[in-house]
Each structure stands twice: as C-alpha cells, then as structure tokens.
Amino acid sequence: MKQLNYKFVIKYILPGLFLAFCLAIPGFTSGYMLRVLNIALITYLCVLSLYVILGMCGQNSFAQAGLWGVGAYMAANFVMKMGAPPLAALLLSSLGTAVFAFVLGFAFFRLRQYYFTFASVGLMAILNGLFMNWNEVTGGALGITNIPSFSIGGAIIKSEPGNFYVIFFICLAAFFLMKVLFNSALGRSFMAIRDNEIAANCLGVNSLLTKSIAFGISGALCGAAGALYAFLAGYLSYQTFTFQQSTMYLIMIMLGGTMSPSGALIGTLIISLLQEWVRPLQNYMQFIYGAGIMILMIVQPEGIFGGGKAIYDKYLKHSKTARTEAD
Amino acid sequence: MTSISNTQKQPVLKLINVCKRFGGVVAANEISFELYAGEIFGLIGPNGSGKTTLINLITGIYSVDSGSIVLDGKNIVRMPIHNRARVGIVRTFQHPRLLGRCDIRANISLGKDLADKRKIPDTDKYQERMGVLLEAAGLTNVDLSDSIEKLSYGQQKMLEIVRALLSKPKVLLLDEPAAGLNRKEMSYIINLIDFAVKEDICVLLIEHAMDLVMSICQRLTVLNFGQQIASGIPSEIQENPAVIKAYLGGSRNAEN
Amino acid sequence: MNLQLLVSGVSTGVVYGLIAMGMVLIFRAVGVMNFAQGEFLMFGGYLCYTLNRLLHLPIGLSLILASLLMGAVGVIFMRTSYWPLRNAQARAIIVSAMGASIVLKEGARLIWGSIPVTVERVVNGSTTLAGSAVVQWQYVAIIVISAMIMALVYLLLEKTFIGHIMQATAQDQYMASLVGIPVIMSIGLTFALSAFLTGIGGGLLAPLFFLNNTMGATAGAKAFAAIVIGGFGSVQGAIIGGLIVGLVEAFGGAYISTTYQLVLIYVMLVLVLMFRPQGIFGGKIQEKA
Amino acid sequence: MKRILAILLIVCMAFGMTACGQPAATSGEKTAPASGAESAAKPIKIGLTTVLTGDRSLEGEYASNGIKIIQQEINDAGGVLGRPIEIVIQDALGTDVGAVNAYRKLADDSEIVAIIGSDSSNDNMAVSPAALELKIPTTAQGSSPKLRDMCNNDNPWLFQLRACDETLCASLMRYAVETGGYKKFAIIHDTETSSADQARLFTEGLAKYGIEPVVVVPFTTGTKDFTSHITQIQKAGVDAIIGACFQAEAAILIQQIRALGMTDIPIFGSNAFADPVTIRLAGDAVNGVYCASAWVPTTPNPKGAALAKKYKELFNEDCGKAAAQVYDHVSIIVEAIKRAGTTDRAAVRDAMNTIDNYEGAVTRYDLRTNGDCGRGGLLVKVENQVAVVLDQITSEKIIKK
C-alpha cells in the first residue's frame, strides 16, 4: 500500500488545513481585507440560502436580498426597541425571517417554476419599497443608526477579527447544516422536487409544503445573515437590500456551481474579491467587473466547482474504484 | 367475464367506472377492475390505448372525470398525489425518474423516506430488506456512493422498482418495466415482482413484452382507445377474437 | 385631468410595450428572459444623442439611424452573451446577460459621462384638450411612432418570409436547422429586431425624461412587469401589459399613492400571478426557461 | 474555439469603449504629486471616497475634477509642512457596503491623514462606526440633521463640513412666506434620504408661520413621468410648489410643471434645483425657480468665483456642488494639518476643532462642534437660465459645551 489514501486526504487533511488557514486569517490580514471577508461571509450565508432554494429545490428566487433585509431590520428592532441581547436577536430574527418566508412560500409556491421566480422579483421590489418608506420600522430612507455591536453574555465583539470569528463559525455551522440537510430525508425530498416534481409527488412528497419549508430554511439563513450584517455595520439603509444584490447572489452561485455549498463559497469569494480587485481601475472598475462576469460564464458555464467535481469524479474516484477492485 | 379470484378476499384496489377525457379524446371510458393482495394484474393494449393514463389516474397525476378509485374500502379520487403515495400506491415510470445528480444511496433512501412517512415500523430490518432487494435486482456489485449516471438504463429501472418496494406499498404500479431490457435483466425484474408477491403487494403491470405478461400475470385486462375490451385469465385473452383483432392482429407471431 | 393622465399613461405605456416586445421576441427565440433589455433603451437613446447633438443631424434621421445601429448592437450582444452559451442552462445565459447589462451601463457612462443629456423633440409645443388637459405633442408622437413600429414588426413576424423563418427557429431550433434555416442568422435577426424596437424608445423618451446611464434598470423592470401582467410569451400580451403598467402608474399615482407607485405595479404583478399565472391575455405557455 | 472568439469580442468591446471614453476623471491611486520642486519630499496623503461608478456617478465626476484643482493649487503654493499633498480616491459604489469597503481600504494606508466622505448622508452614516473605531478624522458631505446629531453626539472623528439642511430650508421658507407672501404650498419630493429629509425640514420651516402644506406628494427615485403627481397638485390649488430631489428629476419635474400649464407658479427647490445640470437640462422652464443652495457657480464669494472660473476653463463645464465641496474639504484638512504641524491623525482632529472662521469657496466654516460646520448658503433665483444670487445666508453657530 504505497498509494496515498486520497479519500483520507480529501476528506480530512485538506479541510483541516483549510480550517487552520481560515482561523489564522485575522493574524495576517489588514482591517480592510478582513472587512471584505466579513461581508463576503455574510453574503455567503445568503448564497447558501439560494443553494437551498435553487440548488437543492430547483426554484430560482430573486427575493433573497429582501429576506436578508427583513432579518437585518428585525434584528435592529429587537435590539434597539425591545432591548433583546444581540445573540437572542440573532436567533429571533433568523426564526422570524424563516416564518415570514415560509408563509410567503405557502402563498407563492402555488405557482410553478419560473412563475415563482417572477413573483420573487415582485416580492423583492415590494420589500425594497417598504424598507425605504416604512418610517416606524425601518427608519425610512435615512435608515437605522447606532445599532450596537454583537455581544455574547456581556462580552462585546467590536473589532473586525472578533466579528470574523463569530461570522466564520456561524458560516461553518451553516455549511455543516447544509451537509446534514443534503443527507436527510427533507433534503432528498427537495432534490426530488428539483429533478421531477411529479415523480417526487408519487414518492409521497407534498410539493407545496416541501417547497415552502425550503423557502423557510433559506429565510432562516438570510435572517441570520441580516442580523450579523446589522451588528457588523451598525447602520442599515434601504440602499443595501436591492434587486441588484439578489442578482449578485445568483451570479455567485452560478459561478461556483449550484450543486454544492463549497461551490457556493468559491463563487461568493470570487465575486466578492473580484469587486475589490478591480478597485485600482477606478472609473473602469464596474465595467471590467461586468465583462469579467461574462467571460467567467462563457469559460465555465456550469460553474467553477461543477468543473472541479467533474475532475474529482474522473480521476480521484476512478483511482478509488481501481483500488477496491485490486483488493 | 370469469373471475378466478378468491371470493373470501377483499380487493385492495378497486376501480369503478373510471372515466377521463382530454378534449374530444376519450382516454378512459368506464374502466372497472379490482386488484387483490399478492396478485399480478396485467394491463395491456396497443400504443395510445390509455394504459399510462390509467396509472396516472390511479396515482392522482390526472383527476378522474367520473367514477371512483377505492383503496381498502376508501374512495381516494379526491386525494392529492403525495397522499396517495402515503397510503400505499407507488409507481414506476416508463423512463426511470431518479435523482440525476445524487449518488445511488440517496436514491434508494427516497424509498425509505416514503416508508417512514407511511409509518412502516420495521425500520430496523431496512438494511436487511435492502440487501435482499438489491440482490434480487442484481445490483450487489455496485458502489452505493457512485453517481446514478454510472448505472446502465436497465439498472436504473431496477433501482426504481427497488426504491418503490422499499416503501412497502400496498399497490405497485409498473409502467413497462421490461422495455429496453435484455433477457438477463428481465429475469431480475421477475425476481423483484416475485418479491412483491411474497410480501402480499398487488402488482399492476403494463407491458408490451407479451411472453412476460402471459407467463406471470394471473389476470389481464385489455384496453383499446380507452375501452376495456376484454378481461380474464391469460389463456382466455389469448383466444379472445376482439383482442386478437384490436391488439395482436395478425402479427402475433412476430410479437413473439 | 383624467384625459391628461390617460395620455401620459398611454405614452409611457407604449414605451414599456416596446421594451417588453423586444424582451418577448428574445424570450421566444432562445427561451430566456433578457435582463439587459432596459439597457438597450438607454443605449439607443445615447446613440440618438450622439447623432443629433454631437453630429448635428436632424432628429428624424437620428432616430432612424440610431435604431438601425441598435440592430447591430443587438447582434453583437447576441454573439457575445448568448451564442457562446447556447448549449448551457438558461440560468447561465441570464447571468451573462446581467454581466452584459453592467458592461452596457458602465460603457455608456465612460463614453458619454454621467451628466444627463437630452435630444431634440420630434414635435414641439403642446395643445389643450377638453378645456384643461394639456397634451404635449411629443407624447402624441411617441404613441403614434411606437404604434407604427409595433404594427410593422407584427406584420414582419406574421406576414413575411423572414418572420416565418424567425418564428420557425423560435419554435424549434433543431427542426429549423434541419429544413435549412441558418439558426445563427435567424437568432441574430431576432436580437437585432429586439434591440431596434427597444432602442428607438430611448430616442423618443430622451427629450421628456432625459438620458442617463442608469435609466435602463427601472424601465427594464417595468417592462418585465408588463410581460408578466400581459401574458407571458405573447407579443400582443407585451403591448397590452405595457399599456396596463403605464396606466396603473399614472392613475394609481394620482388616486392611490405616489410613494408606493412602483410597489403598486409589483403588487399587481404578484396578484396577477396568484390568480391568473398565464397573464391577463396569455394563452398556453411552452415550458422552456 | 468559439469561446475564444467570444472572449476576444468582449475584449474588443471593452477596448473600443475605453478608447472612446472621456479622458477626464481618471485620477486615483497613481496620481503623482504635481509639483516638481517638492518631488523629493514624501507627499501627505488624504483619502476621498466618492461614487465613481454605478447609479450616482455624477457626484464622482465633479468630485474628481474638484480634487484635481485643489491638489494643483496647494502643491503649486508649496504644499503643507513642506510636503506636497496627494489625494487617493476610492469608489464608494453608491451602496453602504461599497462606501465602507472604500473607506476601510483607504484607512489601511497608515499614511492617510484624513478621509473625505461622499456626498450622501447614507454613506457618511455607514462609515461612521469605522471612523470611530479606526480613529481617523473624517469629513462628511451629507447634510442631513440626523448626520449632524451623529457628528455632535456619537462620533468625535466625524465632521459634517456642510451647512445642515435645516438652515437652508428654513431660510428659503422664510423668504417664500415673508418676501413672497405665499400661503398655499405643495411639497413634492423624492423618497430618497436627503430629499425626504429636506421635505420634512421645509414642512417644519413653514410650520413656524403656522402654515401647513396643502398637499405632500412623494415619489420614488427614477420616476420619470410626473403627470399624476402634478395633477394632484393642480387639483389641490396652490400658489407655490416646493420641490426636493436630485438634478435629473428636478429638471423633468420643472419642465412638466411648466408644460402642464402652471407657467407662473413659483417653484422653491432644494440644492439641485439651481444646479448647472438642472438649468441646462430644463432650459427655459427653469426660469423663476427659487432655491436655497449650498453652491452655485455664480457665487459672490471671491474664492468660490475663482474656483468656478478655473473649473470652467479646465473642464469646459459649470462647476458642480460636489467639486466645490471637496475643494473646501481638502483646504480645511490642509489648514488643520498646518495648524497641528504634524500628520498625526489625533492631532489633526484636535486642530480641526480649532478652526472657527474659515472662509471657503462654498461658505464660511466653523468647526468648533463637529456637526453643521458650514455656516450657510445662497438664496438664488434662476433668471434667463442663470442662477442669480438674491441673498447670502449665514447663521452663527450656537456652541453648547
């Protein structure tokens, strides 16, 4: 057995190294880069929510940035008007957004396929209109200022590195929850709906309920992301939670590949960092960014991770089966 | 119409005067038959005679225009699709509909999921049952963590039946299970159907392969243009002039 | 007052109709919603501005030339953001169109700057109808020109050979190529026509609403609502949907709420979807996107 | 092969567009110190976040031009502390996240002494926590009262180097009621941050005279057709209209008000109504518009007039508000560096607080408290498509300590 155990390397050593690297990040990055990463990780939660509803359940939603906003404003209100501790606000707003999304899903998922997508475009516009004009709850166009930082049991987390660890661990938890969901009966029923709704029904899957649950779970992720954003930014305004933001999530997940949480992470990081990399271009930055998206899509229409997985299946899995046959 | 069923047994599934029309086309006209536990019931007819439509009506994909479908004495015509699956009506498709981007284990687990939803208590025996089924289907050598795309068409069809059987259904509807399969694979299908019969599941079989239908079905019914033109045991059907005219025609020898 | 609202509603409505019609043409041809359609409006307007204000051509000629140039832009757009992805999933095409819309928006800013500009009116002045309703002739010009173009395009699609080729390709690309229709040309034509239709709206609207590089997003969003409300995938539906959106905007703003004018349209969109998903005038929809 | 072709096409498109692009406004990270004599000395860096790309890029165009002028002027005059200055620009993208990222990117450069925020209260409020955390003197171009309170109470590092809208709105309303003698007002405003704020302040300004607006018509940013809004105003029967929105909407609004038959009705507007862009777009219709503006190119202020002249020469356009503002912001920061005698951020912050009577191009500044530092603006009326200054508004600062 001179052969290296690929499975072991891929399953444990590489992720372990990656984890160690991530934990060390605050040690060698600047405040700016860390801020970018923090926002990217919060965005990752929203992209994961799109992974649940689009990648697993096959329903494309443009309302995710709206749900993100719902979570953010909920958290701000819980903390500032009701005096809830941030941790409780995080959980409550995640739960609240989940319920909100679930109820809406129950209404919207009577629509099939792209009609739901259309409805989600409408929902996004309606939510943005509310964020801008509902003075009592969202502070209107001026937004909400002076939102306290995140804290756990009295320990206030104000610095970027502190926030990084909090957000990182929540993302990690979400990542593993996705893995659990993927292997659960619920996850399988999502995927059955994605692949063929009628066949799924014939296996006892209630599509309306299941899709609503998927939307609810995506709402929970967006809600958590919203709360984290509120605590990190300290300021909320309508100009953050826009349709453009939702389309960016779609770009991210399409680029990374809709089929895995890791792909979503890669897509999120590429787009988030691409936006910052093109900064030195100043006036040309968005132009090159747009062209970059086009080129990336043309080169890798199935998403970058889609390609990666194909390579994994082709070479690494092959060597594994070869080995079992040799045994 | 002669019936060979045991009169002391209650039918599991009963169709009473089921009608369905699409625009001007009558897809099912006054169809009635009953299925008993552990029985293999054949449904044959030329292309476009309404066989698959009938399965779609039983599973609820289409709603019936009139008539009733009774499972264990309960009319289920108003039940949505997923609830019909949960009370024990499970089907396969002409072309297997599996989770294309998942591994084999996930696909099989969908059957277990349905069993859980049906509250079948023997989950501890699940592994054992799966092993038996996979062996019967000739799928013992496959790696369960492989992608579903690694399986041949025939194996995928087998897998779909295994998945259906894992949920311990009351009624199993097989839509052309043997189409496109070779002899060896056909024998696995027979294995699986035998397994179903042993578990007292009633099997409704749509099939074009005449020798298979004639050899394993206890009773048959023949459809033509949505009409039930004959019912009975295989030997009777084979001699029925209406059937020969409508379906087998002069090409019966070619069929074999 | 109502008459005045009617004229403004109809004239903005027909422009939404032009954009929506362009979107529907592309949707029918390639089965994907074009998320950069609003940018065509903006780009067409700027081309018209270049011809009219920078090269000092008369406005009529500028409009015609600009919309013809837009046809070329449409072909380039097709070649870069659709054609390389024609075999990929629809979502990939949507994403690349989003990238293209950023490129168009920012490209226009780099070329023409971010200070809003305007072009000449087709007809100057205004008239007073029914005592109090003031109607600017430009509004009437928009309605008349748009209606003419819509009618022409409709005839082109239904009555001419080119139209039949485009429709055949839209229905089944593979079959079309089997009977000898060059698919790339037919699709290119569709994109050109779509950009032409939408682009002319930019030049017409410019004197009333001015041009800036970000006007496409709002217009595109309203055209999208028009398509869904009118009936998905049908050309007539797009026109009627555009008119409905324009009128709801005008009368809803006057009688219900101006704050939530835009929200109103989307509430209507959601309601239409809930109760009549195929749209008010839509028929059967092919399952494509 | 086809993919490569497509990519080539995109690249060609990109190059084609950049080739036709305007040569202006590409200053940025690579801006070299202009003066040859001081090139040996290391430049003092000042950051600027502004919206270069995206939806509000008009501001960025003005700001980058204004920066060029002031940088040249200061360096030609020998710089500060014997060193030239260099202004580093980052794009705020017009979103909260973009503004904060741009700010953080600048803040990472420890040589940057102070940062100038963008022309939006939203952006300024979004970067406030970062300014407080990183302890960098930051100037805000937003004019919202909420921002003023934030500067005064929560964040000693943030300076609102601008007359708070309250002063301007109140004096415009005073003029409208006392001089104009109007009593029935309609307010039409954008629901976007600063416009909504100004609309509120106009209402408050009127309330001092016991007048309530007859009708308030809000609209969403990007609204192009105001027929339904204007018919509401017509129906209400008013003798003056108050408007608050950005340039493009203001121009459309003015044109449509005139076109729909209200040719004589006076329009009182926020900053944007007498902006050069608005005047150019709206044409004749803009005549007779009153405006309490922080800045017009026809300002009687000698420094401002010189700037306006210079800007016109260099860029062949009228000088916009954002250009004049960044001009003043840089001057004030340089003044503070001069007074502090060091580039230490805290020392510069303290030095800024000592500036109490600084004559800028826009107005006089008083930085003894952080908020509402600009002391006033101009009351203008547009006649023959020129903004004619009627009066200069100056308020004295009330220092509560």
Q: By the CB < 8 Å criterion, does D234 face chain C?
A: yes
Listing from the earlier edge strand, what are the strands of the sheet with D267-269? D215-219, D185-190, D240-244, D267-269, D289-293, D376-383, D386-394
Q: From CA A229, how far away is CA A210, in angstroms rounded?
A: 28
Q: From CA D373, how far away is CA D354, in angstroms rounded?
A: 12
Query: Residue C182, SS3?
Result: coil
pLDDT surpasses 60 at A319? no
Q: What percent of chain B has pLDDT over 70?
A: 92
Nearest to D6 among C83, C107, C111 (CB): C83
Could you give the C-alpha distances from D228 to A191, A256, C77, D233, in angstroms and in order? 48, 46, 36, 9
Q: From CA B153, how far away is CA B146, in angstroms rounded?
A: 15
pLDDT 10s digits, C167-206: 788 777 788 888 778 888 888 989 999 999 999 989 998 8
Q: Nearest-CA residue of chain B relative to A306?
A: B101
Q: From CA C50, how far away is CA C53, in angstroms rounded?
A: 6
Nearest to C102 among A121, A286, A301 (CB): A286
Residue B126 exposed, middle or buried by CB count within 10 Å (0-12, 13-18, 19+): middle
Q: Nearest-CA residue of chain C relative to D9?
A: C80
Q: With cut-offs at 50, 70 and 90, classify the pLDDT of residue D6.
A: low
Look at residue D358 and tell me if it is in a domain.
yes
pLDDT surpasses 60 at A214? yes
pLDDT 10s digits, B11-59: 888 889 998 888 888 888 888 888 888 889 998 888 778 888 888 999 9
Cβ <8 Å between B111 and A203: yes
Question: Which chain C residues touch A250 with a CB distance below 8 Å?
Answer: 91, 94-95, 98
CA-atom Rg of chain B in angstroms = 18
Cβ <8 Å between A188 and B101: no
pLDDT of residue D397: 66
CA atoms within a 13 Å half-sphere pointing along the CA-CB vector of C36: 28
- HEC per residue, C79-121: HHHHHHHCCCCHHHHHHHHHHHHHHHHHHHHHHHCCCCECCCC
CATH of domain C2-275: 1.10.3470
Q: With cut-offs at 50, 70 and 90, classify the pLDDT of residue B97.
A: confident
Phi, psi angle pair for D305, to nearest 5° = -60, -40
Q: With cut-offs at 50, 70 and 90, classify the pLDDT of residue C273.
A: confident
pLDDT 10s digits, D53-65: 877 888 888 999 9
Q: Nearest-CA residue of chain C relative to A107?
A: C274
Q: How far C61 CA sits from the closest chain A CA (Å)?
A: 31
pLDDT of residue C29: 83
Chains contacting chain D through 3 or more C-beta pairs under 8 A: A, C
Residue B24 exposed, middle or buried by CB count within 10 Å (0-12, 13-18, 19+): exposed
Q: From CA D169, how far away is CA D173, in angstroms rounded?
A: 6
pLDDT of residue B249: 55
* CATH superfamily of domain region B13-248: P-loop containing nucleotide triphosphate hydrolases (3.40.50.300)
Mean pLDDT in chain C?
Answer: 86
Asked if residue D382 lies in contact with residue D318, where contact means CB atoms within 8 angstroms, the answer is no
- Residues D340 and D240 reside in one and the same domain: no
Cα–Cα nearest to C282, from C238, C225, C220, C222: C238
Mean pLDDT in chain A?
Answer: 86
Q: With cut-offs at 50, 70 and 90, classify the pLDDT of residue A222.
A: very high
Q: How far A268 CA sits from the closest chain C CA (Å)?
A: 14
Phi, psi angle pair for D32, to nearest 5° = -90, 150
Q: From CA B87, how far away is CA B65, in angstroms rounded?
A: 22
Nearest to C253 among D229, D251, D261 (CB): D229
Q: With cut-offs at 50, 70 and 90, classify the pLDDT of residue A66.
A: very high
pLDDT of residue D1: 47
Q: Give the start-to-end residue ranges of the domains of chain C.
A: 2-275
Location of structure tokens 């708070």: D164
Q: By the CB < 8 Å criterion, does C14 face chain A?
A: no
Q: With cut-offs at 50, 70 and 90, classify the pLDDT of residue A245.
A: very high
Give the mean model confidence (pLDDT) for residues C243-249.
Answer: 92
Q: By the CB < 8 Å criterion, does A45 face chain C?
A: no
Neighbours of C126 (CB within 10 A): 16
Q: Give the start-to-end residue ranges of the domains of chain B.
A: 13-248
pLDDT surpasses 80 at A10? no
Q: With cut-offs at 50, 70 and 90, classify the pLDDT of residue C287.
A: very low
pLDDT of residue D288: 87
Q: Which residue has the higher pLDDT, B215 or C72?
A: C72
D80 DSSP assignment: B
Give the mean model confidence (pLDDT) for residues D184-213.
Answer: 90
Q: From CA A232, how far away is CA A164, in angstroms rounded?
A: 10
Picking from B59, B76, B82 by the largest number of A CB atoms within 10 A of its own CB, the best residue to mutate is B82
Least confident of B17-26, D86-95, D170-179, D200-209: B17-26
pLDDT 10s digits, B65-85: 888 999 888 898 888 999 998
Chains contacting chain C through 3 or more C-beta pairs under 8 A: A, D
pLDDT of residue D385: 87
pLDDT surpasses 70 at D400? no
Alpha helices in A51-184 (DSSP H): 64-81, 86-108, 113-133, 135-138, 160-182
Could you give the C-alpha distances from D155 to B205, D137, D141, D351, in angstroms and in order? 78, 10, 15, 16
- Residues D157 and D31 reside in one and the same domain: yes
Q: Which tokens is D198 given?
A: 């100004």
SS3 content of chain D, % helix, strand, coil (to 5): 45, 20, 35
Q: Which residue has the higher pLDDT, D5 or D205?
A: D205
Give the mean model confidence (pLDDT) for residues D165-175.
Answer: 88
D189 DSSP assignment: E
pLDDT 10s digits, B222-236: 888 888 888 888 888
Nearest to C85 among A130, A289, A297 (CB): A297
Query: Residue D246, SS3?
Result: coil
Beta bridge partners, B202, equal B171
pLDDT of residue D336: 93
Cβ <8 Å between C85 and A291: no
Asked if residue D360 lies in contact with residue D303, where contact means CB atoms within 8 angstroms, the answer is yes
Q: With cut-offs at 50, 70 and 90, classify the pLDDT of residue A322.
A: very low
Q: Nearest-CA residue of chain A relative to B166?
A: A203
Domain of residue D13 covers 2-163+299-375
Identify the H or E element spanning D392: strand D386-394
Give whichever of A288-297, C226-235, D302-311 has the largest mean pLDDT.
D302-311
pLDDT 10s digits, A71-127: 999 999 999 999 889 999 999 999 999 999 999 999 888 887 778 888 999 999 999
Nearest to D104 among A31, A239, A280 (CB): A31
* B227-252 as b/e: b if 16+ CB within 10 A: bbbbbbebebbeebeebeebbbeeee
pLDDT of residue A189: 92
Give the mean model confidence (pLDDT) for residues D282-300.
Answer: 88
pLDDT of residue A160: 83
Nearest to B110 among A183, A192, A206 (CB): A192
Cα–Cα nearest to C25, from C163, C181, C182: C163
Q: How far D280 CA sits from the closest chain C CA (Å)?
A: 9
Cβ <8 Å between A195 and B101: yes
Q: How far A55 CA sits from the closest chain B CA (Å)?
A: 11
Nearest to D6 among C80, C109, C117 (CB): C80
Cβ <8 Å between A118 and C273: yes
Question: Which chain D residues touch A161 with a CB distance below 8 Å?
Answer: none
Report yes or no on chains A and B touching (3+ CB pairs under 8 A): yes
Cβ <8 Å between A287 and C107: yes
Picking from A123, A297, A299 by the largest number of C CB atoms within 10 A of its own CB, the best residue to mutate is A297
Asked if residue D238 lies in contact with residue D214, where contact means CB atoms within 8 angstroms, the answer is yes
Query: Residue C230, SS3?
Result: helix
CA atoms within a 13 Å half-sphere pointing along the CA-CB vector of A270: 22
Identify the contact set of chain B against chain A, taking CB-CB distances under 8 A.
Answer: 59-61, 80-83, 85-86, 90-91, 93, 97-102, 106, 109-114, 116-118, 143, 146-147, 163, 167
Q: Nearest-CA residue of chain A relative to C263?
A: A126
Picking from D56, D88, D105, D158 by the largest number of A CB atoms within 10 A of its own CB, the best residue to mutate is D105
Q: What is the CATH number of the domain that holds D213?
A: 3.40.50.2300
Q: From CA D213, how far away is CA D206, in angstroms rounded?
A: 8
Q: Which residue has the higher pLDDT, D14 or C7?
A: C7
pLDDT surpasses 50 at D33? no
Cβ <8 Å between D227 and C215: no
Q: Give the start-to-end residue ranges of the domains of chain A.
A: 2-326
Amino acid of residue A51: Y
- Residues D59 and D155 reside in one and the same domain: yes
pLDDT 10s digits, A136-191: 899 888 889 889 989 887 788 888 888 999 999 999 999 999 999 998 999 999 99
Q: With cut-offs at 50, 70 and 90, classify the pLDDT of residue B247.
A: low
Least confident of C174-178, D102-106, D173-177, D224-228: C174-178
Cβ <8 Å between A204 and B61: no
Q: By the CB < 8 Å criterion, does C99 face chain A?
A: yes
- Residues D62 and D123 reside in one and the same domain: yes
pLDDT of residue D309: 93
pLDDT 10s digits, D243-267: 999 888 899 999 999 888 888 899 9
Nearest to A35 among D96, D101, D128 (CB): D101
pTM for the model stands at 0.88
Give A2-326's CATH code, choosing from 2.60.40, 1.10.3470, 1.10.10, 3.30.70: 1.10.3470
Q: Is the dihedral of CA C249, C255, C261, C264 positive or negative?
A: negative
Q: Which residue has the higher pLDDT, D229 or C126?
A: D229
Give the mean model confidence (pLDDT) for residues D151-167.
Answer: 88
pLDDT of residue D40: 57
pLDDT surpasses 90 at C73? yes
Q: With cut-offs at 50, 70 and 90, classify the pLDDT of residue B8.
A: low
Cα–Cα nearest to A10, from A312, A266, A306: A312
pLDDT of residue A310: 54
Task: Report the number of distinct structural domains present in chain D.
Answer: 2
Give the mean model confidence (pLDDT) for residues B233-252.
Answer: 71
Q: By the CB < 8 Å criterion, does D224 face chain C?
A: yes
Nearest to A204 among B82, B93, B99 (CB): B82
pLDDT surpasses 90 at D329? yes
Q: How far C285 CA sits from the closest chain D CA (Å)?
A: 32
Chains contacting chain B through 3 or more C-beta pairs under 8 A: A
D320 DSSP assignment: P
- Residues D10 and D129 reside in one and the same domain: yes
